[in-house]
Chains A and B, each alone.
Chain A
Amino acid sequence: AQTVTQSQPEMSVQEAETVTLSCTYDTSESNYYLFWYKQPPSRQMILVIRQEAYKQQNATENRFSVNFQKAAKSFSLKISDSQLGDTAMYFCAFWGYNTDKLIFGTGTRLQVFP
């Protein structure tokens, strides 16, 4: 069975600094997608970034980028130039070709301090 592990329950960073959130996953599938979702205090689930497993190039969306290490089954999220609005819960998620659902990690609560 596929699993997604986020080993950092909480993290904090100062405004304008860079922070990296960790995610590891376990799967026997070769075709899959990985996602990072953000859940701010409003509780809305917002897609931050997604990565196709067959692409070697790491996905980037403005200040958000990932470090995708397929062999290590690692998918970390880097937030550059952190802003107060980045304060949120961040969930890593996996969806494989033979998986019938999006599998979420337990989340990392990120606090950005001024």
Chain B
Amino acid sequence: DSGVTQTPKHLITATGQRVTLRCSPRSGDLSVYWYQQSLDQGLQFLIQYYNGEERAKGNILERFSAQQFPDLHSELNLSSLELGDSALYFCASSPDSTGYTDTQYFGPGTRLTVL
């Protein structure tokens, strides 16, 4: 158990809908990262938040947004869902914002299926 929690575990929804994925980092970690894992794109970094502020942005679509709250949990919002958004979404956390000296610990993931 990495100490990172994600809810829900599974989510099934329809095209055009909006969903929210939730992540709680390990105790004491200030950075939260979101990744998308799909069969054709592999593991793709979406976005990082550090202590409530956006720190780095990756291949995140404009239909997707995220935020980190004062209690450090984070939410990833996916809207106008398309079939291609079906994937496993991971959250990871690390202690600091400097990144490369940290180790990221991953949550169990949320499997999103868009029908």
By a beta-carbon cutoff of 8 Å, the part of chain A in contact with chain B is 31-33, 35, 37, 42-47, 50, 91, 95-97, 99-104, 106-107
- Chain B residues packing against A (C-beta within 8 Å): 2, 33, 42-43, 45, 48, 55-56, 58, 88, 90, 92, 99-101, 103-106, 108-109, 111
Residue of B nearest to A101 (CB): B45
CB-CB under 8 A from B43, the residues of chain A are 91, 104
- Give the most central of A43, A45, A95: most B CB within 10 Å: A45
Cβ–Cβ contact B42 & A107, under 8 A: yes
With both beta carbons as reference points, the residue of chain A lying nearest to B47 in the complex is identified as: A101
Most chain A CB neighbours (cut-off 10 Å) among B55, B56, B106: B106
**5 residue pairs from A and B, CB less than 8 Å apart:** A32-B100, A33-B101, A100-B56, A101-B56, A101-B58
Interface of chain B: mostly helix, strand, loop or mixed: strand
Residue of B nearest to A32 (CB): B100
Other 13 A-B pairs with CB < 8 A, given A33-B103, A35-B103, A44-B108: A44-B106, A44-B109, A45-B92, A46-B106, A47-B103, A47-B104, A95-B99, A101-B45, A102-B33, A102-B92, A102-B104, A103-B45, A104-B43
When A32-B100, A99-B100, A106-B42 are in contact, do A45 and B58 touch as well, CB less than 8 Å? no
Contact of B100 with A33 in the complex, beta carbons under 8 Å: yes
Please state if B48 and A101 are interface contacts (CB–CB under 8 Å): yes
Asked if A97 and B106 make an inter-chain contact with CB atoms under 8 angstroms apart, the answer reads no
Residue of B33, B58, B99 with most chain A CB atoms under a 10 A cut-off: B99
Would B105 and A47 count as touching, CB distance under 8 A? yes
